[in-house]
Amino acid sequence: MKHLLYAGAAALALSAGMATAGSHLAGEQVTVFGPWLGPDQENAEAVLAGFAAATGADVRYVGSDSFEQQILVDAEAGSAANVSVFPQPGLAADMASRGFLTPLADGTADWVRENYAAGQSWVDLGTYAGPDGSDSLYGFFYKIDVKSLVWYIPENFEDAGYEIPGSMEELIALSDQIVADGGTPWCIGLGSGGATGWPATDWVEDMMLRTQTPAVYDQWVSNEIPFNDPRVVAAIDEFGVFARNDDYVAGGAGTVASTDFRDSPKGMFSSPPQCYMHRQASFIPAFFPEGTVVGEDADFFYFPAFAGKDLGSPVLGAGTVWGITNDSPGAHALIEYLESAEAHEIWMARKGFLTPHLGVDTSVFSDPTLRKMNDILLGATTFRFDGSDLMPGGVGAGSFWTGMVDYAGGKSAQDVADAIQVSWDALK
């Protein structure tokens, strides 16, 4: 059965009257299905309007807050959109293995390697096994989020004479200095209702990228090496260097698991500050005090790598991956359009967009905060997707979350990792 949302007023014909710059797809309808509604849908439609103007295609976008369920229904019914926008690569990989995705055009992987910062990382993240078991590039990443950020209050740092650390060793030294000065370096909170524990998984993922090679990270995420591998246990304990140190955490280590992640950064804004730093993704300013101006009242720096481990500048994050779910010339043309700087700059000039595209004009960013985050992304030597989002739900959104709560509560990293591996084995 055709996806009803593609009919009627809900489907916006983006190309009406816009086929002036090109017409090689004039008359061809290209449908796009994605997770965006509201402002993000408007932003996506602006990009697709650019594609329509460049090609003459009749482009129609539909968004859904039930994307993950609906895309499977549509694919199994043979009525999927030409191009689908996946919030994470795990579902895309599953659909590729079932024959519901079409490999991208020859040469796309080479383009990504040459034109995206940490290009091989994006090729790896978009390469999946097809129905015959062979690997092909099925996914094109477009619109990225960065998680490897530390938030702070510039005025607090200036008053205390603290400088932005350039390495993990310097970050730990700064934390020790803050303690020596009578302050508390960190606010950390893992509370999130039924999802309590997830903020700690981001910490562990960042520590895996800072202590192990990208290949080991990938093996961990896929369970090619067990969760209780000594390298993973060591990464959990690197998180513990911060979260299980009473001197390091506002309220003491015992409050980490019970403090709601939305409330945890507020200690930076008290006077005197209850903490000086907070590690969290780019969305956290939504929970800062009303009226906070990012870049002035609060700012961020890159969660640094260990200088002594020679692993470059890894960045942890997330993003959307675009795949062809109903093959057509227009579908391939849309992916090709996403390679253009224009396709990125249209959204850059709006809100909520980061890109690893090395050819964009970053002065186009409407928000200097986003431009600064994007500089971190462009400086990445490795990018890896949030590991827990790629693991089976029972682990990544289950035992990994609860295990981190247990760890914050005093259980050993080894015992926690052993229990998570048992839960993974139970899924096999």
Over residues 207-227, mean pLDDT = 97
Do 142 and 213 fall within a single domain? Answer: no
Q: Is the pLDDT score of 35 beyond 70? A: yes
For residue 220, what are the contacts with CB-CB under 8 A and spacing of at least 6?
Answer: 208, 212, 227, 229, 231, 232, 387
Asked whether 225 and 339 are in contact (CB, 8 A), the reply is no
Asked whether 31 and 81 are in contact (CB, 8 A), the reply is yes
pLDDT in tens, 247-277: 999 999 999 999 999 999 999 999 999 999 9
pTM of the complete model: 0.91
Do 249 and 365 fall within a single domain? Answer: no
DSSP string, 395-419: IIIIIHHHHHHHHHTT--HHHHHHH
Q: Is the pLDDT score of 152 beyond 90? A: yes
Do 161 and 236 fall within a single domain? Answer: yes
Do 376 and 401 fall within a single domain? Answer: no
Asked whether 312 and 305 are in contact (CB, 8 A), the reply is yes
Model confidence at 407, pLDDT cuts 50, 70, 90, reads very high
Q: Is the pLDDT score of 12 beyond 80? A: no
Return d(Cα 416, Cα 398) in angstroms, integer.
13
Do 399 and 378 fall within a single domain? Answer: no
Return d(Cα 354, Cα 378) in angstroms, integer.
10
Do 113 and 223 fall within a single domain? Answer: no
Do 50 and 166 fall within a single domain? Answer: no
Q: Is the pLDDT score of 23 beyond 90? A: no
Model confidence at 19, pLDDT cuts 50, 70, 90, reads very low
Write down the pLDDT at residue 281.
Answer: 94
Dihedral sign, Cα of residue 154, residue 157, residue 158, residue 159: positive
Among residues 124, 106, 136, 254, the alpha carbon closest in space to that of 189 is found at 254
Structural domain boundaries, residue 270:
149-311+393-425
Do 288 and 419 fall within a single domain? Answer: yes
Do 361 and 377 fall within a single domain? Answer: yes
Q: Is the pLDDT score of 119 beyond 90? A: yes
The distance in angstroms from the start CA to the end CA of the chain is 33
Mean pLDDT for all residues in the chain: 93
Specify whether the backbone of 310 is left (phi greater than 0), alpha (psi in -120 to 50) or beta. Answer: left
Q: Is the pLDDT score of 8 beyond 60? A: no
Over residues 122-137, mean pLDDT = 97
Cα angle, residue 279 at apex, residues 272 and 417 outer, rounded to 5° = 125
Return d(Cα 48, Cα 30) in angstroms, integer.
10
pLDDT in tens, 74-118: 999 999 999 999 998 999 999 999 999 999 999 999 999 999 999
Write down the pLDDT at residue 15.
Answer: 38
Do 141 and 196 fall within a single domain? Answer: no
Number of domains composing the chain: 2
Do 276 and 337 fall within a single domain? Answer: no
- How buried is 10 (Cβ within 10 angstroms: 0-12 exposed, 13-18 middle, 19+ buried)? exposed
**CATH number of the domain residue 327 falls in:** 3.40.190.10
Do 234 and 181 fall within a single domain? Answer: yes
Asked whether 207 and 171 are in contact (CB, 8 A), the reply is no
Percentage above 70 pLDDT, the chain: 95
Model confidence at 4, pLDDT cuts 50, 70, 90, reads very low
